[in-house]
Amino acid sequence: MVEDSKETQPSQQNPSEAEKKPAAPAVPPARPPVAPQGATPPRPATPPPRPPAPAQAPSPVASPQQKPTGRRTFLKALVAISGVLTIIPFVPWGQFLLSSVSSHGALQRQKIVLDLNTTTNNNANGAVAGKTVNVNDLTSFPPNSTWLVTYPTSGDINVDSQSPDTFQKFGLIRLPTELGGSNKDASAFVAYSKVCVHLWCSPNYDPQKSSNPTNETYQCPCHGSIYQLPTEDSKGNLIDAGKAIKGPASLQAPPTNAIPMLTLTADSNGDLWIEIPQWDPDHNGVIGYGRNYASYQDYILPIAQGKAKAPGEP
């Protein structure tokens, strides 16, 4: 019955004694300063023998080395399995890394409220700061004009207006009349990201130069990248909004040569809404990275015209 008293009576030891003991065998014997031919000196496979067991506990069994059977291997395998099972539960914790600071929880639809310091121009009415945008109101929101909006909003117009985070800023543009800017639906508007896909400066819309749609329109002040308004194809359909046509951004490979856009809709009162964006190159683009410019005619415009539904749109 008594097999090995030495290993099974730890708790009765004086702690200070007990912890000094195991340290002793683990200290390897002093090595020769230079190993012959750089070879590693052989290490003992097992720790140095312990002092003999107390006399009152003669060990009747064979020493462990005599029969290295598969049982030990089995136990080792179980320990390895246990180690793997201990690590596995931490794998889903990686989801922690996949959230984002700039998305405050889930994105939501948002009725457009203009920033208080929204940039106004000759064609736009400066009194609209802080107002909601109505597509029927051609006086306050005339064609060929631009305003600043924040998405996602903090819910507080004052905080939004003071936030310097251009990754949440968009230039809302009512298109010139020849591009359908006087239409009384959401297709009269586009909302371009305020982050240039070249080096993240902040482009601005210049209405003075937009009489010719291929002329300079949404221009970045840093390196002169220019993003076009939608152009008309041979059948008169609007296509390719936000594609860079000049400057360093136009030289980048697709999809990094077009500015990300928001999806806009108008409700029955004519109030303009931002639909929940899909931040990938084939839909609304990735801010600061780019967008496939064809996503305007394939995805954004049909929703603005009411021919398709955005995710989460009522």
Partner 1 sequence: MSKPPEKGNVVSRLYQWVKDGLERTVYMGVQYTYPKRFVSPLGYLGVLTGITFLVLGITGGFLMFYYQPTLAGCGSLTCAFASIERINNTVPFGWLLRNIHYTASNAMVLLAVLHMYYQYFSGRFKIKNEVLWVTGVILGIITGVEAFSGYDLLFNQRAGLAIEIGSSLANASPLIGGTLRLSLFGAGFTDFVLRLYAVHVFILPMIMIILVFVHFPRYLVFDLPVISTVVGGLFLVAAIFPVAVGIGYSPSNPQLTIPEWYLTGIYALLRTEFDKFVMGGLMPALLFLMAIVVPFVDTSKKLNWKDRPFFTALGITTIAQILITTGWGFYINPNTSLPTLSRLYVDPALYFSSMLGVTVLSFAFTYAFLRYLKAKERVRRAVAPMSPLLTKKWVFIVFLMLVGAQLALNFFAWTAALTNLNAMTLFDVGAILITFGVIMHLYRYSQSLPF
Within 88-107, the residues that bind partner 1 by CB under 8 A are: 88-90, 92-93, 95-99, 101, 104-105
CA distances from 68 to 65, 74, 123, 165, 242 (A): 6, 11, 91, 67, 73
Question: Among 110, 125, 132, 163, which residue sits at the site for partner 1 (rule: CB under 8 A)?
Answer: 163
Q: How many CA atoms lie within 13 A of 147 on its CB side?
A: 27
304 within 8 A of 264, measured Cβ to Cβ: yes
> Which residues, 170 to 199, sit near partner 1 by CB under 8 A?
none
Question: Which element (helix H / strand E) includes 79?
Answer: helix 70-87
> Which residues, 137 to 156, sit near partner 1 by CB under 8 A?
154-156
> What single letter denotes the amino acid at residue 99?
S
Q: Which phi and psi (to 5°) does residue 290 adopt?
A: 150, -170
Residue 93 or 126 with smaller CB distance to partner 1: 93
Question: Among 117, 136, 159, 309, which residue sits at the site for partner 1 (rule: CB under 8 A)?
Answer: 159
Residue 41 or 221 with smaller CB distance to partner 1: 41
Q: Are strands 226-227 and 244-246 parallel, antiparallel or unpaired?
A: antiparallel
To the nearest whole angstrom, how small is the minimum distance from the Cβ of residue 66 to partner 1?
Answer: 9
Q: Stretches 78-86, 114-122, 123-131, 205-213: which one binds partner 1 (CB under 8 A)?
A: 78-86
To the nearest whole angstrom, how small is the minimum distance from the Cβ of residue 87 to partner 1?
Answer: 9
Contact flag: residue 122 with partner 1 (CB under 8 A) = no
Say how many residues touch partner 1, by CB under 8 A. Answer: 71
First-to-last C-alpha distance (Å) of the chain: 78
To the nearest whole angstrom, how small is the minimum distance from the Cβ of residue 54 to partner 1?
Answer: 7
- The structure tokens 């230079």 sit at 34
Contact flag: residue 6 with partner 1 (CB under 8 A) = yes
239 within 8 A of 292, measured Cβ to Cβ: no
To the nearest whole angstrom, how small is the minimum distance from the Cβ of residue 280 to partner 1?
Answer: 20
Closest of 240, 209, 242 to residue 227, by C-alpha:
242
To the nearest whole angstrom, how small is the minimum distance from the Cβ of residue 279 to partner 1?
Answer: 17
Contact flag: residue 116 with partner 1 (CB under 8 A) = no
> Which residues, 30 to 69, sit near partner 1 by CB under 8 A?
38-40, 42-43, 47, 54, 56-57, 61-64, 67, 69
Closest of 232, 231, 110 to residue 172, by C-alpha:
110
> Which residues, 249 to 278, sit near partner 1 by CB under 8 A?
none
Cα-based torsion angle of the residue sequence 96, 101, 102, 108 in order, rounded to the nearest 10 degrees:
50
To the nearest whole angstrom, how small is the minimum distance from the Cβ of residue 313 to partner 1?
Answer: 24
To the nearest whole angstrom, how small is the minimum distance from the Cβ of residue 265 to partner 1?
Answer: 24
